[in-house]
Amino acid sequence: MEPGGLEWLLVPMQQLVSWGAAGAMVFGGVVPYIPQYRDIRRTQNAEGFSTYVCLVLLVANILRILFWFGRRFESPLLWQSIIMIITMLLMLKLCTEIRVSNELNVKRRSFAAADSKDEEIKAPPKRSYLDFDLNYFWHWSKFTDYVQCVLTFTGVTGYITYLWLDSSLFVEMLGFLAVFTEAMLGVPQLYRNYQNRSTEGMSIKMVLMWTSGDTFKTVYFILNQAPFQFSICGLLQVFVDIAILLQVYLYSHYPQKPVSHAAHPASTKAL
């Protein structure tokens, strides 16, 4: 058979592989959160999942979208960010509803000033518009507070980006900040596992999917010559994923007993 005789088959196959890779990039990032979402919904317990993971991904993907306006990269990576933002908002909504329903302390914490109709405040003290108490940041009582925070962050960073969009240095720094933030995705979960001396309540499937997805993503970045920031992001994410998998192994084979802070206030080691 002549070499050109297979072109009619190879070209469509290459196109299908390209579409499949693009589809995997767009939707593959949200797949790890499906089993976690189902587990939280089934058990009505969100303690094993750190909502700071949502914070990291929201910040990273908002910055990535802004980076796109300064340096156009592949459309699948842009759509991936949009889909991820929607997914993280859904995760936050579920976790907030469950956490509030399970809390014994009914005192409300808000990003915005308390509504005058709030039941728990009969004579509200004078408060600033925003509640920046770091002890309760990202631990609010209503999903709308998270939405307000995300919209505020988007508005401020979007305005700054608009002013500095002509600066190539700013655009490159924005891209690096976006992917570096995303590279830190697993760190909140890593730290939460360290605090709890356990990985109980965390979806192992989610971490395995993280690892496989980040590995695929990094290879995709390299092969498609994406901006160098993306390749750095992928490599860092893979390293963090491996660290979490090591925690799963250590805490399952060598269970750790949580240390009483009253008895050992200086003890902070996991092992």
Residues 197 and 231 grouped into a single domain: yes
Domain count, the chain: 2
Q: What is the mean pLDDT of the segment spanning 36-50?
A: 86
Position 2 in a domain: no
In tens, the pLDDT along 187-210 reads 877 888 888 888 876 767 777 877
Residues 151 and 48 grouped into a single domain: yes
Q: What percent of the chain has pLDDT over 90?
A: 25
112 phi and psi angles, rounded to 5 deg? -95, 170
pLDDT tier, 106 (very low <50, low <70, confident <90, very high otherwise): low
Domain of residue 100, residue span: 9-105+137-166
Integer Cα distance of 126 and 83 in angstroms:
39
Specify the higher pLDDT residue, 179 or 265.
179
Residues 154 and 233 grouped into a single domain: no
In tens, the pLDDT along 110-154 reads 776 554 444 444 444 444 444 456 677 888 888 999 999 999 999
Residues 96 and 204 grouped into a single domain: no
Q: Which of 5-14, 90-99, 115-124 has the lowest mean pLDDT?
A: 115-124
Integer Cα distance of 180 and 92 in angstroms:
22
Position 233 in a domain: yes
Residues 98 and 58 grouped into a single domain: yes
Residues 162 and 233 grouped into a single domain: no
In tens, the pLDDT along 260-270 reads 433 333 322 22
Residues 142 and 231 grouped into a single domain: no
| In the block, residue with structure tokens 């991904």 | 57
Rounded to 5°, the CA angle 240-53-90 comes to 140
Domain CATH for 197: 1.20.1280
Integer Cα distance of 99 and 173 in angstroms:
36
Q: Which of 47, 54, 58 is CA-nearest to residue 33?
A: 54
DSSP reduced 3-state for 130? strand
Residues 86 and 162 grouped into a single domain: yes
Position 231 in a domain: yes
